[in-house]
Copies of this chain bind each other. A is one copy, B any other.
Amino acid sequence: MARSRVGIWLIGARGGVAATTIVGLVALRRGLVDTVGLVSELPQFADLGLTTWDNIVIGGHEIRNVTLYDAAQQLVDVSRALDPRLVAAAKEDLDAIDANIKDGTLLNVGAKIAGLAKNELREKTETPRQAISRIQADISAFAKQHELSDVIVINVSSTEPPFDDSKLPTSWNELAPLLESGDCHLPASSLYGAAALELGFPYVNFTPSVGASIPALCDLAEQKKTCHMGHDGKTGETLLKSTLAPMFAHRNLEVMSWVGHNIFGNMDAVVLDDPENKKTKATSKDRLLGQIFGYHPQTLVTIERIDSMGDWKTAWDHIHFRGFLGTPMVMQFIWQGADSLLAAPLVIDLARFAELAHRRGETGLLTSLACFFKSPHGTGENDFSKQFSMLEAWAKS
């Protein structure tokens, strides 16, 4: 029996993460690369019946005026992060996939992101509901055209400014009417979430933006018997924090201060260069230490745009801790990773795991996927090793 085909719908479909994801899926399908970096390809997940490269179809929304090939080629020429041979081999496929990418919405994305959009989008006016309907039409057409059994919507777009959701109604039935007017300032990441969940499709928020984390959208997911998860993909410094902090805790070493400085230069950096957008990010990176330690060491996290770095995100962390008899000691680490190359395989993993969960009939927050996120919804577990055990346990269940 032929496997049914599955769609991955990327919000921010021509950004660095999306372009890398797509080059990767093309290369995997063509057998040009091995599966290194893909969690879902570890032996312990081999028997789950995850969807295969041949059965994945890609589409998405984008607001900028670029092509997938140009986005990928920039990771070759500027960042020296992607193998040029892979991008060359994928060019034809990238051009074809470009046809599946539709105009996104700029509703409440903030000035910085709006400033990157193509002109016709900036002139568009629509209510949240109109935006949602347009988004849904795009996704439904995609699903129909490609005869897809499911579409996993994944947000890999730029980080939005902080949004205060505390005054929103907590049920979908109360929130839905507010979307008819522009007064409801729900950010785009949440509108995409609402669109996906209302269609019954899973939604994964790989960014620190609000997405589907608000109660009313959790409610919607349950109503529609679909699943979702977020937020903020854990790719580098925070992955190390969630790995190393438990070690200090287990050894009863008192972390006095933990300083982390991050520099990088891709489009994400350009957006985070706006203090508003940066606020959303830094909060997400700095939260877990207190939860792991049970006390609050002095912490400092900076994330700065340094253009020459391109996609290479370098983090220097300085951990100052008290050992036995009060002796101060230091651990430092330097992480030099290509941001998009770290994120892309996790996007593919999340799509595969979310598709399986949906197929299995799971609804609501997929807390078993906590290990993929800086701030996993629905669980207080921040120890990476324990988060990974949660994933393994889920796979066995």
What is the interface of chain A, defined by CB distance below 8 A to chain B? 20, 23-24, 27, 33-39, 41-42, 80-84, 86, 239-240, 243-244, 246-247, 250-254, 256-257, 259, 261, 263, 298, 300, 302, 304, 306-309, 314, 316, 318, 320, 322-338, 341-342, 344-345, 371, 383-386, 388
**Given A239-B247, A259-B304, A254 and B309 contact (CB-CB distance below 8 Å):** no
Kindly state the separation between the CA atoms of A263 and B319 in the bound complex, as whole angstroms. Answer: 12
* Chain B neighbourhood of A251, CB < 8 A: 37, 39, 239
Kindly state the separation between the CA atoms of A308 and B327 in the bound complex, as whole angstroms. Answer: 12
Inter-subunit contact A20/B324 (CB<8 Å): yes
Residue from the set A36, A81, A84, A344 with the largest chain B CB neighbour count within 10 Å: A36
Inter-subunit contact A337/B345 (CB<8 Å): no
* Chain B neighbourhood of A256, CB < 8 A: 307-308
* Chain B neighbourhood of A333, CB < 8 A: 331-334
CB distance from A304 to the nearest CB of B (A): 6
Q: A239-B247, A298-B308, A331-B335 are in contact. List 4 more A-B contacts (CB 8 A).
A: A37-B322, A83-B325, A243-B243, A325-B341
**Given A244-B243, A308-B298, A388-B250, A327 and B338 contact (CB-CB distance below 8 Å):** yes
Pick the residue among B38, B309, B320, B337 that contacts A252 (CB under 8 A). Answer: B38
CB distance from A93 to the nearest CB of B (A): 15
Query: Taking the full assembly, how many copies of this chain does it contain?
Result: 4
Inter-subunit contact B250/A326 (CB<8 Å): no
* Chain B neighbourhood of A328, CB < 8 A: 80, 308
Inter-subunit contact B314/A316 (CB<8 Å): no
Inter-subunit contact B342/A324 (CB<8 Å): yes
Inter-subunit contact A309/B257 (CB<8 Å): yes
Kindly state the separation between the CA atoms of A252 and B372 in the bound complex, as whole angstroms. Answer: 13
Inter-subunit contact A252/B325 (CB<8 Å): no
Inter-subunit contact B324/A24 (CB<8 Å): yes
* Chain B neighbourhood of A257, CB < 8 A: 263, 306-309
Inter-subunit contact A37/B335 (CB<8 Å): no
